[in-house]
Amino acid sequence: MARVRLGAVEYLNARPLVYGLDGSPRFSLRFDVPSRCADLLHAGDIDLGLIPSIEYLRGPMPYAIVPGLAIASRGPVASVALYTRREPRDVRSIAMDTSSRTSVALVTVIFSRVYGVTPRPVPAPPDVEAMLAAADAALIIGDNALLLDHQAAGVQKIDLGEVWTATTGLPFVYAFWAGRPGVLAPDGVVELRRACQRGAADVMGISRMYFPGDAGRQAIASSYLRDNIRYDLKPVEIEGLRTFYRFAAELGLASFDGGLRFYDAED
């Protein structure tokens, strides 16, 4: 039987979700930035992608979601942030990390609903100084945001996960496994869940492998995976996801009919 082609995010926060899957006879695994994962799934070059949540609404066909698993936060996320030397209400342009899709939509929603402004987006690679030379603020995600010393750079860090939860009272869902209906059987869902359970139980081991020989970064990584990132897609996360989709649709960032589709799972 052909292996299911998985496209995973290359950032630290995705590693627990793919723990041990590189040796699985069921799956083949590749790593890319979030925007690339989405593009590969839309093109049919992978079967199942750990895609930015907004991209679920932008596929060429209705996708199915692997139930129970996500990259989410409830409160500060540490790795999705806006950097600026201005007050948020004075921001008129934002350099947007080209690795991102969901966070671009999230910052657009937050600035509209919380700060009452619609800054002009400026696509840019994730280099805070170059971004702030081109725009009033910089959106940076993933490892680049997690490890950026914003105080040394002399900028304010606005944690978008923290703002979202403070505003809505809900978790935010950044990414989840999704693919074409029929590509994943219930026992495949079980294997993905077990991989995440093993990974979430070994965040120190993941941190050591991810940052070999760097105790300082290992400590940051293990704290982040343990305290900031959630891997559940339970009813409260689904409520947060639906809320995000409604807000994004109101701004014309995507269309949302209210429906979410899931793969079957063995209970």
Q: 100-134: per-residue pLDDT in tens?
A: 899 999 999 999 999 999 999 999 999 999 999 99
DSSP β-bridge partners for residue 15: none
Asked whether this chain's domains 4-71+173-250 and 80-168 adopt the same fold, the reply is: yes
Angle at CA 246, nearest 5°, toward 141 and 58? 65
pTM above 0.75, yes or no: yes
Run of H or E residues at 27 = strand 27-32
DSSP β-bridge partners for residue 159: 81
pLDDT of 6 over the 70 cut: yes
Architecture label for domain 4-71+173-250 = 3-Layer(aba) Sandwich (3.40)
Q: Which residue has the tokens 């505003």?
A: 167
CATH number belonging to the domain at 80-168, selected among 3.40.50.11540, 3.40.190.10, 3.40.50.800, 3.40.1160.10? 3.40.190.10
Structure tokens at 184: 């994943």
Q: How many CB atoms lie within 10 A of CB 209?
A: 12
Closest CA to 14 of 165, 141, 160: 141
Average pLDDT of the residues in 247-267: 92
The DSSP call for residue 244 is H
Q: What distances in angstroms separate CA 135 from CA 39, 76, 120, one per listed residue?
A: 26, 24, 9
Tell me, rounded to whole angstroms, the distance of Cα 240 from its chain centroid. Answer: 14
* 173-224 per-position pLDDT tens digit: 999 999 999 999 999 999 999 999 999 999 999 999 999 999 999 999 999 9
Domain ranges within the chain, ordered by starting residue: 4-71+173-250, 80-168
Closest CA to 13 of 103, 132, 83: 103
